Structure 1
Amino acid sequence: MGPPAATTLLEHDFCSHPEARFLTRDPPQECLSWVCHGVVTTFVLLVTVLLFPISAWFVLKIVPTYERMIMFRLGRIRAPQGPGVVLVLPFIDHWQLVDLRTRAFSIPPCKLTSRDGAWVSVGADVQFRVWDPLLSVMMVKDLNIATRMTAQNAMTKIVLKKYLQEIQTEKLRIADQLLVEINDITRSWGLEVDRVELILGSVLQASQETVPQAPGSRPPIPGLEGLDSTIQQLALQFFGKTLAAAATRPNGDFETEHVEVENETEEPPHAVHTEPGGSSEGRRFKAEEHLSALERCLSESLVNQVKACYQINVRLASGAETTTYFIDLSSGRGRIGPGLPDHSPDVVLEVSESDLEAFILGELHPLNAYVCGRLQVHGDLNVALKLEELFKVMKQRR
Structure 2
Amino acid sequence: MVPNYQRIVVFRLGRVCPPKGPGVVLVLPLIDQWQKVDLRTRAFNIPPCQVTTRDGGVLLVGADIQFRIWNPVMSVVSVQDLNASTRMTAQNVLTHSMSKKTIREIQTERVKLGEYLGMDINEMTRPWGLEVDRVELTLGSLIKSPDEDQMAPLIVPPSVPGLEGLTGSIQQLAMHFLSHGASSQPQHRDSITFTDELSSDPEGIITTPSSLEDLLSSVQMILSEDLVHKVGACFQFEVSSADGQQLKYYLDLSQGDCS
SS of equivalent residue, structure 1 residue 150? helix
Q: 2:52 aligns with which of 113, 117, 120?
A: 113
Equivalenced residue count is 160
Seen in structure 2, the aligned counterparts of structure 1 residues 214 and 84 have a Cα distance that, compared at 3 Å, is: farther
C-alpha distance in 1, partners of 2:164/2:125? 37
CA-to-aligned-CA distance 1:216-235 (integer Å, 9 cap, x gap): 34599xxxxxxxxxxxx9xx
C-alpha distance in 2, partners of 1:160/1:218? 26
Counterpart contact for 1:132–1:191, Cα < 8 Å = yes
Q: Check if 1:164 corresponds to 2:78.
A: no
2:153 aligns to what?
212
C-alpha distance in 1, partners of 2:164/2:97? 23
Q: 2:124 aligns with which of 176, 185, 209?
A: 185
Q: 1:134 aligns with which of 53, 59, 73?
A: 73
C-alpha distance in 2, partners of 1:138/1:200? 35
Q: 2:133 aligns with which of 171, 188, 194?
A: 194
CA-to-aligned-CA distance 1:286-333 (integer Å, 9 cap, x gap): xxxxxxxxxxxxxxxxxxxxxxxxxxxxxxxxxxxxxxxxxxxxxxxx
1:84 aligns to what?
23
- AA in 1 matched with 2:94: M
SS of equivalent residue, structure 2 residue 24? strand
1:150 aligns to what?
89
SS of equivalent residue, structure 1 residue 84? coil
1:97 aligns to what?
36
CA-to-aligned-CA distance 1:348-381 (integer Å, 9 cap, x gap): xxxxxxxxxxxxxxxxxxxxxxxxxxxxxxxxxx
C-alpha distance in 2, partners of 1:219/1:190? 41
Aligned-residue sequence identity (percent) comes to 56
Deviation at 1:112, TM superposition (A): 1.1
Seen in structure 2, the aligned counterparts of structure 1 residues 83 and 173 have a Cα distance that, compared at 3 Å, is: same
1:69 aligns to what?
8
- AA in 1 matched with 2:74: L
Structure with the larger helix share = 1
C-alpha distance in 2, partners of 1:137/1:88? 18
Seen in structure 2, the aligned counterparts of structure 1 residues 172 and 219 have a Cα distance that, compared at 3 Å, is: closer
C-alpha distance in 1, partners of 2:133/2:68? 7
The higher-RCO structure (CA 8 Å, 6+ apart) is 2
Counterpart contact for 1:119–1:206, Cα < 8 Å = yes
Q: Could you state the TM-score of these two structures normalised by the residue count of structure 2?
A: 0.59
List, as ranges, runs of 4+ consecutive aligned residues in structure 1 with deviation greater than 6 Å. Answer: none
Which blocks of at least 5 consecutive residues in structure 1 are unaligned?
1-61, 221-232, 234-398
2:113 aligns to what?
174
Structure with the larger strand share = 2
Counterpart contact for 1:70–1:134, Cα < 8 Å = yes
Give matches, 1:251-290, under 5 Å: none
Taking only aligned residues, the RMSD between alpha carbons, in angstroms, comes to 1.9
Larger Rg: 1
- AA in 2 matched with 1:75: G
Which blocks of at least 5 consecutive residues in structure 2 are unaligned?
157-162, 168-200, 202-259
